[in-house]
A and B are shown apart, each in its own frame.
Chain A
Amino acid sequence: MRSFQLGTTFFLVLTASLCAGVDEDFVVIKAGRVITVSGEQYAPGTIVIEDGKISAVGGDIEFPPSATVIHAPHETVMPGLIHPRSRFGLKRYMRVGVHGDEHVTDEVFLHQMRFDDLLHAGFVAVTLVPAGSDIPGVAATYRTGGPVESRLLSDNSYLHVVPKWRSSGRKMLGKALKKAKKEIEKVKKAREEWDKKQKEKAEKKAKEEKEKDADQDSDSDGDDASYKDDDGDKDTDKDAQNGADQGKKKEEEKFKPPKIDPKYQPLVDLIEKKKGSQMMVTLTRASDLLHLDAVMDQYDDLAHTYYLATARSTDYMHIVDKLGKRKATVVLRPWIHFMPQTTFRYNLMNRLDRAGCNVAVTPWDDSRKELYRMRARVAGLLRAGLSRKAALKSMTLNPAIAVGLGDRLGSIEKGKCADLAFLDGDPLDPHSKVTRVMILGELVWQRDKKLVGRN
């Protein structure tokens, strides 16, 4: 660890000394190959990074001569992997019931956590979820490296919904959504009542003013010049008072909505289609989709993704077409599934992809071995018919979309964050290794210590 720190400091010092007087904002990667995921592949490729963000990508493009150049002629650069559903480094517990007010950010202490295993496996972001069943809370996404201040990518990646197997998850979700809807109606009602009151007040005021005006008119009938000045003074006083009054009233007039039960706040946001709010629904069996649809169809397009929790022997093949038709975003573990109670195998991920779903993969579990092994597992599915494009997307862009960061991470495009992974071979070659990881335009880890500071 210590050597790592030393290495980093050494590297920083070296770069600082090298780059003295150079435009520090520009970093250029000249790689043997660049896999953009969203677009074409460049070999050799160049990525221009400005201020931690990708400003250009291409085969052989021009870049400012003052830029820091990272030479990686024997490496492949791809967007960093994203782990869409993890409990990495968090403690075990079981939370049951609806807890929309619980955020995973409350249990993450960045200064205590080390995401090294993730980082070394090529992951640049990880979404941590609250544990438990029913609705245990809100998930958050963190960068696995870089400065601590920039680690938190999103504190509201999705609401974690985990219906219990063989018990009524449908009832649970239905009840929760209904409660959320009631909360919305409560606010609406209060608003209406308040509007009504305001109207009444305004009317009353108007009436009073009219009466006042009438009185004033009667007063001002007598035209005594000697009082005029006093009147003027009084008027100004009155104006001042009126101003003060109005200020006060403005404060009063501000509508104070009744407090929404914080446990149901995320669901309220979902129903109101607040931007960035979505939920990830866990499906244990194929029939869960039908049961939950029966509840969710009662509301207009609740933003949601699915997590297919069961691996090995599953009956998800029944719902592939249904999921494909609605172009659902589906997270699953890369694995050749078995039809239930049989030894018939089927490539669920491939079927989902061909049906039209956005498929994202998540490592089998959070153990170091499995984090390293994920690419190999996806490669295995590739051998069983999965397309290369889908395989690459499933590890980068699709998980980014699944956690609501599709516009910031997941591919090498102009404007996206420069969170990249360098590999010494093809990402879908089981033998290839991650050589370096870049986060926000800065190399945060390199496998070969000799490489440190070479640029």
Chain B
Amino acid sequence: MRQFQSLIQACLISAVVFAVVAKTSALADQPAPEKKQPKSVEKKPADEKDDAGDKKDKKKKKEQKKDRYFAVTGATVHTVSRGDLYGATVLVKNGRFAEIGRGVAIPKDAETLDASGYHIYPGLVAVRGGNVIGSDPADETTDVYSLWMTIALAGGITTAVSGDTAVSLTYGSVEDMVVGRDLFVSLKYSSNDPENRRKVREGFDKVRQYMRDVQAYQEKKKINPDAEEPDKEWIKGDYEKYYKLLKRETIAKVTANSAHEINEYCSLAERYGIRLVIDKALEGWTVARRMARAGVSAIVSIRPPIFSSDTGEDERLNRPTGRSIENAAILHKYGVPIAIIPSTASITSWGLAGRDLLHLNMEAAFAVRGGLPQDAALRSITIEPARILGIDDRVGSLEVGKDGNFMITDGDPLHYMTQVRWTVVGGRVVYDKQKESLFSHIRPNGDRNAPPPDDYWPRRLGDEQ
């Protein structure tokens, strides 16, 4: 019976796969439509604009440059957003996915990589970049040859955020780094500071009143063309922030841990209809329903920080308190979009235990241990953070038109034995396990049956002969 069931299941899966393949290839057949550029993306600082016109000749040369193709064949492609494709080809043209599917014609001059037996996943998105990238602004200060970046790439991370800028980890190049600028605004509405809370509320009220006035003015104008336009000179600084939030043009990133604080932020979000992402949300699992109703999202860490024994529990309260491994699972169950990030969001030498960006995938795996479905765990480190940050048109899943950022692994990224074999950013191999000295000695070429590496760690002194 069981066998029969699995057979049916397999049939169903293959049917679905076939349908998806057909769909994707059909999509691929169409000429790729010009992608509209969202506001947040590629917003060059104003001062660079006139300089760009300087070198028209160079630009022309660039236009005449041949198209750069990169193709990976034979791998199982996990698109995250559009199902899985078996033995498919991924074709990247000039740093963007051109085609994903089976039977893709590979151009003659394409650089190809045979990844038979490997799995392709979208590159992971780290909502905090730590020391992997520079800061202020990340695209101008990142050390693109740093060891930290290589380690992050070895962990499958291809996009990291510093400040409010998201950049691709373009190892060895500074071209086409920026994925998005001005991704979010920070907001403080802590109950420790009632004066500030009042100010924030008043600010929101004032701006909301202004928006209503504008609406009224537009109506009035239809009847009376001489109607007076409401003054907008004062919308600067914080007011501008509130204005953007009220128009839902941006998302506010707030930090809250206790159920009480989270509730307060939820009320704020509901009252003004703004988009909020709650960072940390330690006790989110106790108020998941409330968070879901308010439509806020969360950035959570599953395991406590290293050197911290504090569980956040408060025995004086007659309600569930403190951190829980089920946090992500419960939030997901109630429909709160979650992004997962380790509590130490940088590469550290004391991160060997796997609680830093070296093991972003392991953090998600721990969420699975807490009850989060596998696919949701994978989404929480790929497409969900991209959506929360508003860069899902560039990164987060394998789709035609998105950035050619992906990792090629020898298995499920949520499995502890899985190693990244190659990482590709912008159609360029930026990490090759066999060529870097980091993990090349561990199961060379992904052979799971290979004997354990000679070089044990920690090395015991005196053992060497």
Contact = CB atoms under 8 A, between A and B. Distances in A.
Interface of A: 166-168, 170-171, 174-175, 178, 181, 285-287, 290-291, 294, 297-300, 315, 318, 340-342
A167 B141 contact: yes
A175 B145 contact: no
Given A168-B140, A178-B47, A178-B51, A294 B145 contact: no
Nearest to A170: B140
Nearest to A164: B141
B134 A166 contact: yes
B52 interface: yes
Interface of B: 47-48, 50-52, 54-55, 58, 134, 136-137, 140-147, 172-175, 437
A168 B137 contact: yes
Contacts of B141: 166-168, 170, 291
A391 to B, nearest CB: 28
Contacts, number: 54
Q: Main SS of chain B's interface residues?
A: loop
B137 A287 contact: no
Contacts of B175: 294
A166 B136 CA distance: 10
A318 B172 contact: yes
B143 A287 contact: yes
27 contacts: A166-B134, A166-B141, A166-B143, A167-B136, A168-B136, A168-B140, A171-B137, A174-B51, A178-B50, A285-B143, A287-B142, A287-B144, A287-B145, A287-B146, A290-B173, A291-B140, A291-B141, A291-B174, A294-B174, A298-B51, A298-B52, A298-B55, A300-B55, A318-B145, A340-B146, A340-B147, A342-B437
Contacts of A299: 54
A167 B141 CA distance: 6
Contacts of A315: 145-146
A286 B145 contact: yes
A287 B440 CA distance: 25
B140 A175 contact: no
Given A166-B134, A168-B137, A297-B55, A290 B144 contact: yes
Contacts of A175: 47
A201 to B, nearest CB: 32
A169 to B, nearest CB: 8
Contacts of B142: 287
A291 B47 CA distance: 16
A297 B48 contact: no
Q: Which 3 pairs between the two chains have the least Cβ-Cβ distance?
A: A298-B51, A287-B144, A290-B174
Given A298-B51, A315-B145, 10 more contacts: A166-B134, A166-B143, A171-B140, A174-B51, A181-B51, A287-B142, A290-B173, A290-B174, A297-B55, A342-B437
Nearest to B50: A178
Contacts of A168: 136-137, 140-141
A368 B47 CA distance: 47
A290 B134 CA distance: 14
A288 to B, nearest CB: 8
A293 to B, nearest CB: 8
Contacts of B145: 285-287, 315, 318
A290 B149 CA distance: 16
A421 B137 CA distance: 50
Nearest to A167: B141
A29 B164 CA distance: 68
Contact of A287 (B52, B136, B174, B437): B174
Contacts of A178: 47, 50-51
A297 B58 contact: yes
Given A291-B174, A297-B58, A318-B172, A341 B137 contact: no
Nearest to B170: A290
By CB atoms of chain A within 10 A, which of B52, B54, B137, B140 has the most?
Answer: B140
Contacts of B58: 297
A341 B55 contact: no
A171 to B, nearest CB: 6
A175 B51 CA distance: 10
Contacts of B144: 287, 290
Contacts of B52: 298
A206 B58 CA distance: 46
Contacts of B147: 340-341
A168 B141 CA distance: 5
Contacts of A290: 144, 173-174
A144 to B, nearest CB: 38
